[in-house]
């Protein structure tokens, strides 16, 4: 694997942070300075500032993200992050993002290739949201949402939409645009007052309280890989 991915898997830094370490000359591979294009194999010896590093075990964690927590590994403003809510060993990072006010299913992992694949729109990973909105959407409005809404960055793909209550709708999308569900509902005149992601890539929050997390079972990891044909 590429050197920056190796350092990320070792829990040293994010890939971007690893690039900075490599550029600064602080990383060696078999005693030689590492380069941004260096590939590392299992027999290679990697060190940072002279200290040897090794890969951590792969971990896959499902978090029920509470409101007010930011989806990042660290926050310059000192706000609580999703990484603060999960075990620190091995180091994991979130797959995709939920804005601070959105709650629900969030996957964190140190499996970089799988995370990248899950986040890529070509694989159509399902994300299911429950949205409480101002007003009462009509059946015609729900049909518009299902067919696709014109946003400032282009039309959305068709979605699965159903009514859960007078002010609550469920929307399943497979795109990953910034604040997409909120923007879709704004566009049809029903601003979101509460947004919860109930499902991600087939993973649900059954029995998982807000702020709590659990490691995925082997069968769940296999299904994730199968869903994107990952090796």
Residues with active-site annotation: 99
Q: Name the one residue in this structure whose structure tokens are 């793909």.
A: 157
DSSP 5-73: HHHHHTTS--HHHHHHHHHTT-EEETTEE--TT-B--TT--EEETTEEE-PPPP-EEEEEEPTT-BSSS
**CA 109 to chain centroid:** 9
- Beta carbons within 10 angstroms of residue 185's beta carbon: 26
**Strand partners of residue 163:** 169
């Amino acid at each position: 694997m590429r050197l920056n991915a190796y350092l990320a898997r070792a829990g040293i830094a994010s890939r971007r942070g690893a690039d900075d370490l490599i550029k600064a000359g602080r990383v060696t591979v078999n005693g030689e300075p590492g380069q941004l294009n260096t590939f590392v194999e299992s027999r290679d010896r990697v060190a940072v500032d002279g200290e040897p590093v090794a890969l951590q075990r792969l971990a896959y964690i499902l978090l029920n993200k509470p409101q007010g927590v930011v989806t990042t590994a660290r926050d310059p403003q000192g706000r609580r992050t999703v990484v603060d809510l999960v075990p620190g060993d091995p180091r994991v990072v979130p797959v995709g993002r939920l804005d601070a006010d959105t709650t629900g299913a969030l996957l964190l992992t140190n499996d970089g290739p799988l995370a990248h694949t899950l986040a890529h729109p070509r694989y159509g990973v399902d994300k299911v949201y429950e949205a409480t909105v101002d007003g009462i959407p009509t059946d015609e409005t729900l049909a518009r949402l299902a067919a696709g809404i014109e946003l400032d960055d282009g039309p959305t793909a068709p979605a699965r939409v159903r009514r859960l209550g007078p002010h609550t709708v469920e929307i399943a999308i497979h795109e990953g645009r910034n604040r997409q569900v909120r923007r879709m509902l704004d566009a049809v005149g029903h601003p979101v007052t509460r947004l919860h992601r109930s499902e991600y890539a087939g993973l649900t929050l059954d029995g998982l309280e807000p702020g709590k997390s659990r490691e995925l079972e082997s069968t769940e990891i296999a299904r994730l890989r199968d869903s994107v044909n990952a090796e």
